[in-house]
Amino acid sequence: MSHPNPLPVSLLAVSPSFFPPIILIGTYKLKLFLMATISSNTHPDGSFPAPSKSISTTVTPPVTTTNPAYQTWRRHDRLIYGALLTTLSNEVASLVSHTKTSHDLWTLLKNTYAKASRSHLKQLKERLRTASKGTQSITTYMHSLKQTADLLASLGSPVSVEDMTDHVLRGLDDGYRAVIDGVNARDTPITFDDLLEKLLIQELSLVAAQTQTPAPLTALNAQTRPNNKPRSGQYFAQSNQRTNNRKPFLGRCQWCNIKGHVLSQCQTFRQQHP
């Protein structure tokens, strides 16, 4: 028997790029909306179950054959299944790899991530409160905070503009003190996008200051090291002074046994052995 509401034979072309790369899975409502906008059927929520894989003909005797409606349904479901996977991070995608249909995938995601339990909300709020930029770039830091805030909003606990600003500023180091003081001095709240722009500009300034080429160490040593090398005249004067200040030779001649000279200078030896 054929399915009571067969799908049209022509398939809808769904580009995976249509789905934004969402890392946090709390935005499941957005995904469901996207599914509804690209197809008239609603595979993920289970309202359009799979037709039977085979059908029997009305001829006698009946012959079992593949159900064309199931083949069409299967192609649609694979299309939606793949589109859903493009919205998942690698870690989450590995958790749902055992699912077979888009409905199975969607049900697992909803049961795992869409429960706004008190402990879950508390954990997300604590993540915002203790966020720190550290060695991250401003883009990565702000993106992480925005994802957490979006997840809280999808679970029915949105973060106000003022609180979000406080969370951002609290995690910055003193290199961004000028931006922190400027934002705190404002009479009106600053939007997330405007704050991001100011922080990016300050980040560029910090990077530029760190990359300025310092003076070579050898040049600094040459400039600061005292010149103790004597001039030529001073050298000869010092050399002569050291020569004149030498102590007399106090050795004893090996021939005449008289102090003050050696055998080669001995007059007695020369006279006896001309």
- Does the predicted model carry a pTM greater than 0.75? no
pLDDT in tens for each of the 274 residues of the chain? 444 444 443 334 444 333 333 334 444 555 555 555 544 455 677 777 888 888 887 777 878 888 898 998 899 888 888 888 887 777 788 888 899 998 898 888 877 776 667 888 899 999 999 999 999 999 999 999 999 998 888 788 899 999 999 999 999 999 999 999 999 999 999 999 999 999 999 999 999 988 875 655 555 555 555 555 555 555 545 555 555 555 555 667 766 777 777 767 777 777 766 6
30-65 exposure pattern, b = at least 16 Cβ within 10 A, e = fewer: ebbebbeeebebbbbeeebeebeeebeeeeeeeeee
The separation between CA 159 and the C-alpha centre of its own chain, rounded to angstroms, equals: 24
Q: What is the DSSP letter of 56?
A: E
Reduced to 3 states (helix: H, G, I; strand: E, B; else coil), residue 37 is helix
Residue spans per domain, the chain: 16-113, 118-210
